[in-house]
Structure 1
Amino acid sequence: MATLQKIRNRGVFIGIIIGGALLAFIAGDALKSGGSILANSRNEMAEIAGESINIRDFQNRFNHSLEVNKLMSGQNSIPSEQVERLREQVYQQMVQEFVMNREYDELGISVTSEELFDMVQGRNIDPTIRQLFQNENGMVDKDQVVATLKQLIAAPNGTPQKAYWLNIEESIITQRNLAKYNTLVQKGLYMPNALVKDMAAKGSKKVDFNYIVKSYNLISDSTITVSESEIRDYYNKHEDLFKQAESRKIDYVSFDVVPSTEDYKETEKWVVDLKEDFTKEVNDIQFVELNADNDFNAYYFKEGEITNSELNAFAFSANKGDIFGPYFENEMYQMAKLHDVKMLPDSVAARHILIRPINGDFKSAEAKADSLKALLAKGSEFASLAKENSADQGSAVNGGDLGWFTQGKMVQPFNDAAFSSNKNEVKVVLTQFGAHVIQVTNMSTPVKKVQLAIVDRKVEASQKTIQTAYAKARTFAGKNIEKDAFAKAITAENLSRRTANLKRETKLIPGLENSRDLVRAAYNTEDMESVLLNGDNSAVFEFGDKFVVAFLTDIKEEGIASIQEKVSEIKRAIRQDKKAELIIADMAKNSAGAQSLLSVAQKENLELKNATGISFQSFQIPGAGIEPKVISTASLLGKGKISSPVKGNQGVYMLVITNENSDEVSDVTVEAFKSRLEQGYQYRTNYQAFQALKDNANVIDKRYKFY
């Protein structure tokens, strides 16, 4: 059906829309059956506002989304990274639907059938529908919309076309409901004119000032005492400062799979044993493709380009067919055969005409290219033929000219044809892009170049080596299944203890390939005294070339951190407060009766600094950093007046305004300022309103149990 192809062709655009509200049409039962789902807590993958979401419902939606993406892309499989993104998208969509639908029901927000008709084929066509059905003039073809709808109504349930359309309808309904809600919230925002005028006036004022700062670091921490009662009082008064997200910490040791001496010898022997056959081989390229780890490299090297100096010397003194090695390089045993020697330029200038195949018909494309070559032979102008026939519009406008390029810059068949041509020779060559008519128009002076056929084999751990590493890990885990024994064994065996801080959503632990299973294990237990177990009930995790044994060492719940966890942080804050009090008292004494800030600076032995163009809306002071209290003081301080000591983030400040100027604050200025503020708040509404509802719904994510 043409509609299906059109949707596929517009896959990126529709993907964005579907990403916002793709799967709502199958959500009803899953999201309305919360109470009944509670019967099986083992299958609970999330909890929203006290209601349970079952993993089966989520998986059904995810599987459906996966199939829709396959249909849209025309692919039979989706890359693993995209699958992970899709799984996250489906989850976030479920949360959004659940949270917002409750709000819509309470507020009476909905889309009527008449409104949906208007969005699809009425006067107010939704942008999604407009994008799908607009004609070459940019107008919506309503006849096509109606014809498509008739076809979809007649189509059996479950057909891809019908599923697409249902998704699109649900997506535009969801977007319309969300737009109504956001508009409702935005209409409730109000900026009092007096407040706006005051903010505009403060923002228009810019000041230059001199200042001194006495750093807290000038007072040694050892001279400041902090009592336990002070710590408790500070903690109780500043609980909001100690909010923490949930997290878990693990300690682990890894037993790396490293090739043994025997593995190196076996790999070298494998290469040596091939040398006689390689010497006799006539088809070097085929031999390399069949035996080497890396494909044949068709590049022609000039003298000095081969980084291995001994191989470079061999290549430019040997005869074709001679072999160098085996030699060891980049963790591989290799041997090189001099495959070819040619006089070639370093760079060429060329032009081309590209004939793209229609429906994969390369023969017809090649036939057309041959006909163009024949016309050139009869005297036709290359530039004219390129402008009229080339599918490469970037070069066609310049008569097909590609300019100068070096070896390896073009796809291999094109490269080979260009660098093996004589000046002004015309060739036809096929690449994955189509048929090219190529003419080299200029070239640098040819020099001797060589082509090497290299057989290589990377040194990798044998099965015996892998089993040895696994046995070490298993023995270590078996002997140290408890936390204290684990810690002692690490020291006794001189192993390296590693630590990882984890979130529920952590996908990868740095240095451990595909390590999500270890994260899940850490979140599927509360036991911090015993070794972690994987899905096979084994204490040994395998991640790439590492075997890992791990312990859960810390659990932080979301909420307020304990006073014990924050003692050091609290002590630093109290010390800074006490230092500030001492410095403020000292500065107040030395500034009493002072006629200038310079005299205070001299008494305090401090440098007099300056800042320019600072306003109430400034983020920081150049040279001083983020100091909001100092900026606020500067904005309100009268010109020429020395401020009282100001407690800042880095130290205690004193300042004096040396210059000030203000832009005119007219009614027009205030109105423009108000408009910018309102626009900023409206943009924030779309995110913050939902985030507030989500926080209120107390969403508990339990996906770690399954993924």
Structure 2
Amino acid sequence: MATLQKIRNRGVFIGIIIGGALLAFIAGDALKSGGSLLTNSRNEMAEIAGESVNIRDFQNRFNHNLEVTKLMSGQNSIPADQMDKIREQVWQQMVQEIVMNREYDELGISLTSQELFDMVQGKNIDPTIRQLFTGENGQFDKDNVVKTLKQLIAAPDGTPQKAYWLNIEESLIAQRTLTKYNALIAKGLYIPTAYAKNMAANGSKKVNFDYVVKSYNSISDSTVNVTAEEIKAYYNDHKELFKQSESRKIDYVLFNIEPSTDDFKYTEKWIADMKADFTAEENVAQFLELNSDTKFNSYYFAEGENSNKALDAFMFSGKKGDVFGPYDEKDAYKLAKISDIKMMADSVKARHILIRPVQGDFKAAEAKADSLKLLLDKGADFAELAKTNSDDQGSAVNGGDLGWFTQGRMVPAFNDAAFSSKKNEVKIVKTQFGAHLIQVVGLSKAVKKVQVAILDRKVEASQKTFQAAYSAARKFAGENQDRASFFKAISEQNLTHRVANLKKDTKLIPGLESSRELIRVAYNTDNMETILLNNDNSAVFEFGDKFVVAILSNIKEEGYASVTDVQATVEREVRKNKKAEMIIASMSKNAKGAQSLLSVAQKENLEVKNAADVTFQSFQIPGAGIEPNVIANASNIEKGMLSAPIKGNQGVYMILVNDVKEDALTQDAIDVFKSRMNQNYQYRTNYQSMQVLRENADIVDKRYKFY
């Protein structure tokens, strides 16, 4: 079963493959049946292409992926942020499965069992399978594939390696089916030779030109009147510019739970009362474990290394057992005791062999480490054992060599073992990564170092302080439940007023710990006249060391912003257009009969500037900024001809092309340009086709109701 274990050990790699797959076939009929589970609209989590998705179906899929992740990582619990990523991955899989399966059915795209066989053990091995079954000699072992598959078929359901393999197959099917779909679309794309030739010609042409620009800011806004009718007309003509995504805004007030003067005095007295016991205690590590907010740190400081200069001076003038303090530092009161003084190296050079636990079995890892140590004691070569046995592949290729490192660079247990070892001594140490065999092969010059034990107690708000903050928040909420009184009280009481703009999928409001609940509440109501209530029907939300009272202030639906919402933007654009008309009229008048650009510049009181080596593909004009309309005109106007006024982003331009340089346009150059354009379109199409399908699916996402 060595290969099965290899599959398991590559859990991270497989996880990337699974996570990157656009499709999955795990859900089966659960998403397609439209059965009785979908009849209750309260359990509807989404609607995709007219198909209802039930929260229970989603949760089943999520639970499945969660268990696979646990199996691959060997972890019993998954951090909250990783669970959010898995949940998002499941959502994307479900959306694309529903959307794409319709396309596949309509187009007749599928993957046969023969094709899957070919990808796994046939003539066209998939890169994923090839990488999994490539041996240390760099050769792909097809016989091992067959052997492994027979073992997996015989293995009981629920075997971790069997679950991994099924996920790999599902990912292979998904990726290959999508590849077929993208290839079908790609066959429908074509770049006409004439178009490629024209674009290549534009790309090979460089122009130098003089220009003048009259800024829109040269005309005062107060002199240009904009009517309501003009604003409405512009809005209707350019409505697509004002598409908006959904969002909500809340206003909220903070009541901070901050330690009082009494809380500081209490903590200071507590640490002072502990001094006698701390001084007398010999087992300082155990004492700190029972009494300190911070555990014992075994680090040995060199002189001048501790950032607290007074403590540093005490450490290197005192003797073992001496106690410094009490002193305050970073909202905590502390005592420091010299726990050890020794001469030791500043840095060491070491090598190691790492044995990772399989499914959390640290005993088995330590047993293997013990057996390897016996081989070393009998004269085995450390480097060779590292190359063939270490799970730290980064150092294994170099015989386990970690190079030189200073204190604190490694995890504590590893650090302590390395810096307490004699040269060439081999030790076994257990860390969160597994069992390590460590051998120190080099030591720097020994210097005096001091280990100090820190007993600390952070100053925290007492129950009395906590209750005072809560009472203030509850009083404010009780007396100011409607919109008018809410904002009036904030102003009169000079309270901390904050605003948050939210999306349905916003996970956290900055400054508010674990604040997803407030976001969900804001999305589960349309009431903007009274303050928000939490799940306990209370107006006071608690987030870490803060109480919050909030009100929903604005709702923006997905679609088009209203004229009112974008009035300032529209008015600015209408005014700019009017200014452009005024400047164009003035420039056109002054350009009549003009023999040069300088003549126009003098009449308009402008400066003639120059732009060099501008092509049709240029992003901007040096000294002028992003002006695509001006660049397009410069690339097509005849040399020596004074242009008409050109409306730009910053103002109105007139240009005169002085020089045109064109590279020879060969057929090879055209072919290269055409190939580059084809590649660009292919890349964009794979992404954009999926975006179009998603947009046409009219996805209604209601996840915010549940998470």
Q: TM-score of the superposition, structure 1-length normalised?
A: 0.90
Q: In terms of mean alpha carbon deviation, does 114-123 or 224-233 score higher? A: 114-123
What pairs up with 1:519-530 in 2 under 5 angstroms? 519-530=519-530
Pair 1:643 & 2:665 matched: no
Q: In terms of mean alpha carbon deviation, does 232-241 or 162-171 score higher? A: 162-171
Q: Deviations over 1:425-477 (max 9, x none)?
A: 65555545634443546538x4x554322211111112222222222222222
Q: Which amino acid aligns with 2:77?
A: S
Q: Deviations over 1:611-654 (max 9, x none)?
A: 22211011122322211111111111222222222111112222
| Rounded Cα–Cα distance in structure 2 between residues aligned with 1:579 and 1:656 | 23
3-state SS in 1 of match to 2:629: helix
Q: Which amino acid aligns with 1:503?
A: K
State the match for 1:697 in structure 2: 697
State the match for 2:585 in structure 1: 585
What pairs up with 1:289-438 in 2 under 5 angstroms? 289-342=289-342, 347-348=346-347, 350-352=348-350, 354=352, 359-361=365-367, 362-366=369-373, 406-409=406-409, 427-432=425-430, 434-438=436-440
Q: In terms of mean alpha carbon deviation, does 645-654 or 361-370 score higher? A: 361-370
State the match for 2:361 in structure 1: none
How far residue 49 of structure 1 moved from its aligned partner, in angstroms, is 1.7
3-state SS in 2 of match to 1:46: strand
Q: Which amino acid aligns with 2:440?
A: I
User: What is the aligned residue count?
Assistant: 690
| Rounded Cα–Cα distance in structure 2 between residues aligned with 1:400 and 1:247 | 53
Pair 1:601 & 2:601 matched: yes
3-state SS in 2 of match to 1:434: strand
Q: Which amino acid aligns with 1:660?
A: V
Q: Which amino acid aligns with 1:689?
A: S
Q: Deviations over 1:123-177 (max 9, x none)?
A: 3333333334445565554444444444444455555454444433333222222
What pairs up with 1:646-657 in 2 under 5 angstroms? 646-657=646-657
State the match for 1:443 in structure 2: 445
Q: Deviations over 1:592-615 (max 9, x none)?
A: 333332343343333332222211
How far residue 72 of structure 1 moved from its aligned partner, in angstroms, is 1.9
Alpha carbons of 1:307 and 1:165: their partners in 2 closer, same or farther (altered >3 Å)?
closer
Q: Which amino acid aligns with 1:652?
A: V
State the match for 1:564 in structure 2: 564
Q: TM-score of the superposition, structure 2-length normalised?
A: 0.90
How far residue 658 of structure 1 moved from its aligned partner, in angstroms, is 2.5
Alpha carbons of 1:399 and 1:79: their partners in 2 closer, same or farther (altered >3 Å)?
closer
Q: Which amino acid aligns with 1:588?
A: S
| Rounded Cα–Cα distance in structure 2 between residues aligned with 1:147 and 1:397 | 28
| Rounded Cα–Cα distance in structure 2 between residues aligned with 1:160 and 1:308 | 51
| Rounded Cα–Cα distance in structure 2 between residues aligned with 1:73 and 1:657 | 65
Q: In terms of mean alpha carbon deviation, does 432-441 or 474-483 score higher? A: 432-441
Q: Deviations over 1:333-358 (max 9, x none)?
A: 0122233445566x45x544545569
| Rounded Cα–Cα distance in structure 1 between residues aligned with 2:3 and 2:384 | 33
Alpha carbons of 1:460 and 1:371: their partners in 2 closer, same or farther (altered >3 Å)?
farther
State the match for 1:225 in structure 2: 225
State whether residues 386 and 396 of structure 1, in contact with CA within 8 Å, keep that contact through their aligned partners in structure 2.
Answer: no
How far residue 37 of structure 1 moved from its aligned partner, in angstroms, is 5.0
What pairs up with 1:439-518 in 2 under 5 angstroms? 439-440=441-442, 442-443=444-445, 446=447, 449-518=449-518
State the match for 1:380 in structure 2: none
Q: Deviations over 1:230-259 (max 9, x none)?
A: 111111111111111111111111211111
3-state SS in 1 of match to 2:123: coil
Unaligned ranges ≥5, structure 2: 356-363
| Rounded Cα–Cα distance in structure 2 between residues aligned with 1:8 and 1:174 | 21
State whether residues 369 and 437 of structure 1, in contact with CA within 8 Å, keep that contact through their aligned partners in structure 2.
Answer: no
State the match for 1:381 in structure 2: none
How far residue 513 of structure 1 moved from its aligned partner, in angstroms, is 1.1
How far residue 540 of structure 1 moved from its aligned partner, in angstroms, is 1.6
3-state SS in 2 of match to 1:114: helix
Q: Deviations over 1:518-555 (max 9, x none)?
A: 11111111111122122222222211111111111111
State whether residues 351 and 401 of structure 2, in contact with CA within 8 Å, keep that contact through their aligned partners in structure 1.
Answer: no
| Rounded Cα–Cα distance in structure 1 between residues aligned with 2:399 and 2:157 | 54
State whether residues 421 and 440 of structure 2, in contact with CA within 8 Å, keep that contact through their aligned partners in structure 1.
Answer: no
State whether residues 418 and 439 of structure 2, in contact with CA within 8 Å, keep that contact through their aligned partners in structure 1.
Answer: no
State the match for 1:179 in structure 2: 179
Q: Which amino acid aligns with 1:307?
A: S
| Rounded Cα–Cα distance in structure 2 between residues aligned with 1:50 and 1:82 | 30
Pair 1:674 & 2:680 matched: no
Q: In terms of mean alpha carbon deviation, does 165-174 or 271-280 score higher? A: 165-174
How far residue 516 of structure 1 moved from its aligned partner, in angstroms, is 1.1
State whether residues 474 and 540 of structure 1, in contact with CA within 8 Å, keep that contact through their aligned partners in structure 2.
Answer: yes
Alpha carbons of 1:420 and 1:190: their partners in 2 closer, same or farther (altered >3 Å)?
closer
| Rounded Cα–Cα distance in structure 1 between residues aligned with 2:456 and 2:671 | 72
Q: In terms of mean alpha carbon deviation, does 514-523 or 74-83 score higher? A: 74-83
| Rounded Cα–Cα distance in structure 2 between residues aligned with 1:119 and 1:312 | 65
How far residue 186 of structure 1 moved from its aligned partner, in angstroms, is 0.9
| Rounded Cα–Cα distance in structure 2 between residues aligned with 1:370 and 1:167 | 43
State whether residues 349 and 405 of structure 2, in contact with CA within 8 Å, keep that contact through their aligned partners in structure 1.
Answer: no
Q: Which amino acid aligns with 2:565?
A: E
State whether residues 8 and 161 of structure 2, in contact with CA within 8 Å, keep that contact through their aligned partners in structure 1.
Answer: no
3-state SS in 1 of match to 2:587: helix
State whether residues 356 and 365 of structure 1, in contact with CA within 8 Å, keep that contact through their aligned partners in structure 2.
Answer: no
State whether residues 413 and 429 of structure 1, in contact with CA within 8 Å, keep that contact through their aligned partners in structure 2.
Answer: no
How far residue 119 of structure 1 moved from its aligned partner, in angstroms, is 3.1
State the match for 1:378 in structure 2: none
Alpha carbons of 1:178 and 1:367: their partners in 2 closer, same or farther (altered >3 Å)?
closer
Q: Which amino acid aligns with 2:214?
A: K
State whether residues 299 and 408 of structure 2, in contact with CA within 8 Å, keep that contact through their aligned partners in structure 1.
Answer: yes
How far residue 330 of structure 1 moved from its aligned partner, in angstroms, is 0.9
Q: In terms of mean alpha carbon deviation, does 189-198 or 159-168 score higher? A: 159-168
How far residue 494 of structure 1 moved from its aligned partner, in angstroms, is 1.3
| Rounded Cα–Cα distance in structure 2 between residues aligned with 1:427 and 1:589 | 93
| Rounded Cα–Cα distance in structure 2 between residues aligned with 1:22 and 1:141 | 28
Alpha carbons of 1:180 and 1:395: their partners in 2 closer, same or farther (altered >3 Å)?
closer
Q: Which amino acid aligns with 2:85?
A: R
State the match for 1:116 in structure 2: 116
State the match for 1:553 in structure 2: 553
Q: In terms of mean alpha carbon deviation, does 44-53 or 212-221 score higher? A: 212-221
State the match for 1:270 in structure 2: 270
How far residue 500 of structure 1 moved from its aligned partner, in angstroms, is 0.8
How far residue 68 of structure 1 moved from its aligned partner, in angstroms, is 1.5
How far residue 44 of structure 1 moved from its aligned partner, in angstroms, is 0.3
3-state SS in 2 of match to 1:34: coil
| Rounded Cα–Cα distance in structure 2 between residues aligned with 1:131 and 1:595 | 72
State whether residues 588 and 645 of structure 1, in contact with CA within 8 Å, keep that contact through their aligned partners in structure 2.
Answer: yes
| Rounded Cα–Cα distance in structure 2 between residues aligned with 1:401 and 1:527 | 64
| Rounded Cα–Cα distance in structure 1 between residues aligned with 2:548 and 2:631 | 52
State the match for 1:9 in structure 2: 9
Q: Deviations over 1:212-231 (max 9, x none)?
A: 22222222212211111111
State the match for 1:379 in structure 2: none
Alpha carbons of 1:330 and 1:618: their partners in 2 closer, same or farther (altered >3 Å)?
same
| Rounded Cα–Cα distance in structure 2 between residues aligned with 1:463 and 1:247 | 38
Q: Which amino acid aligns with 1:554?
A: N
State the match for 2:358 in structure 1: none
How far residue 298 of structure 1 moved from its aligned partner, in angstroms, is 3.5
Alpha carbons of 1:555 and 1:638: their partners in 2 closer, same or farther (altered >3 Å)?
same
Alpha carbons of 1:37 and 1:106: their partners in 2 closer, same or farther (altered >3 Å)?
farther
Q: In terms of mean alpha carbon deviation, does 292-301 or 242-251 score higher? A: 292-301
State whether residues 48 and 95 of structure 1, in contact with CA within 8 Å, keep that contact through their aligned partners in structure 2.
Answer: yes
Q: Which amino acid aligns with 1:19?
A: G
Percent of aligned pairs with the same amino acid: 65
Pair 1:207 & 2:207 matched: yes
Q: Which amino acid aligns with 2:268?
A: E
